[in-house]
A and B are shown apart, each in its own frame.
Chain A
């Protein structure tokens, strides 16, 4: 009896020490931490600078490219129909590669395999524009990561990376985004680090940027060696963030300070 109580207590203590995942009812997008002005900028398509990229993306969707001389639209037709909800379950497992790929990599796979064109560079205007155009078709739709069992080990790795302390400042993502999201870091709100708005327009960047750009910025902030764009680690982190944000609506193209 005593032993059982002890075990129960120990388990409770251990559970409390491990940062608990944020319950659905308390999940908050970065949007809810912003000033009224910045929110209005996201809400109004005519004021949202991210919409210029979306328009570019729409043009690219329809433009023929590569040796195959095919446009995205030649295979996928109207993105408003075919791409609806797609971004809610990325990164997705890519059987041919045996690993998950993020939306940007998926687009580049279509470029190389189906258009026979060269892949776009990470953070190039073209790749951001196409990704934003595809993701915008999921605006308002809840994030629903695939429950493909092949994804599970990669989500687990992403979770471990999220918990891992690193860099000269020796902090983990969880220290800020699970434990201190209601606080301020040198005056700016620390949010829950939810991946709902990407690619998004960041006023600080004066540009649209990908989720991976954001993750690399957080790593540099703690003086860690940022993982390369497209590296397995960044994709695993993206995957974990999406599973952690399950049920939250996509906001692409969001605006952030």
Chain B
């Protein structure tokens, strides 16, 4: 907790106070440079679950990305191939890309996976929720860092 900037804590407290009881409040995180060094959950994710998530269409990753997923015949080509992500980026850099890619590139088409505000006309079943949970993001990050080739 000592790592968190006071403003982050304040925002988190406000969020907790104002968020409807049903929607899970987002956990606070701290951006350092171009990365989020600390796990969102405080724990390490599970790489096997992370891979399974990416390959699932509901996570939306392979709508745009391709990668080392031979069992998936339908992959997108709007975005870089995920092969070698773990060589190109550190764990913390990958975490920030997933949490809020727009923080790095305001014009990116990659959605911010851990964000629930500042969006327009979100459909009723998705409103107030991030695309992925903190646990799911940690699982995916744990998998992406293993992509070293």
Assess whether B3 is interfacial by the CB under 8 Å rule: no
- B122-A167 in contact (CB<8A): yes
Residue from B74, B78, B131 in contact with A168 in the complex, judged by beta carbons closer than 8 Å: B131
Residue from A164, A169, A179, A184 in contact with B76 in the complex, judged by beta carbons closer than 8 Å: A184
Q: How large is the interface on A (under 10, 10 to 19, 20 to 34, 35 or more residues)?
A: 20 to 34
Query: Hey, which chain B residues are within 8 Å of A220, CB to CB?
Result: 123
A-B contact count (CB 8 A): 71
Assess whether A223 is interfacial by the CB under 8 Å rule: yes
A179–B63 Cα distance when bound, in Å, is 16
- A186-B120 in contact (CB<8A): no
Q: How large is the interface on B (under 10, 10 to 19, 20 to 34, 35 or more residues)?
A: 20 to 34
Query: Hey, which chain A residues are within 8 Å of B73, CB to CB?
Result: 187
With A185-B63, A186-B57 already in contact, the answer to whether A167 and B76 are too (CB < 8 A) is: no
* Interface SS of B by simple majority: loop
Query: Hey, which chain B residues are within 8 Å of A168, CB to CB?
Result: 111, 119, 122-123, 126, 129, 131
- Give, as a whole number of angstroms, the nearest-CB distance from A146 to chain B: 29
With A184-B77, A186-B74, A223-B122 already in contact, the answer to whether A169 and B131 are too (CB < 8 A) is: yes
Assess whether A188 is interfacial by the CB under 8 Å rule: yes
- Give, as a whole number of angstroms, the nearest-CB distance from B104 to chain A: 15
Assess whether B62 is interfacial by the CB under 8 Å rule: yes
Query: Hey, which chain B residues are within 8 Å of A183, CB to CB?
Result: 76-78
Assess whether A77 is interfacial by the CB under 8 Å rule: no
- Give, as a whole number of angstroms, the nearest-CB distance from A190 to chain B: 8
Query: Hey, which chain B residues are within 8 Å of A207, CB to CB?
Result: none
Query: Hey, which chain B residues are within 8 Å of A246, CB to CB?
Result: none
A186–B75 Cα distance when bound, in Å, is 4
Assess whether B41 is interfacial by the CB under 8 Å rule: no
- A169-B120 in contact (CB<8A): no
With A183-B77, A185-B64 already in contact, the answer to whether A225 and B124 are too (CB < 8 A) is: yes
Assess whether A175 is interfacial by the CB under 8 Å rule: yes
State the 3 A-B residue pairs at the shortest beta-carbon distance, nearest first: A187-B74, A168-B126, A166-B120
Assess whether A165 is interfacial by the CB under 8 Å rule: yes
- B122-A225 in contact (CB<8A): yes
Residue from A167, A184, A185, A186 in contact with B119 in the complex, judged by beta carbons closer than 8 Å: A167
A167–B111 Cα distance when bound, in Å, is 10
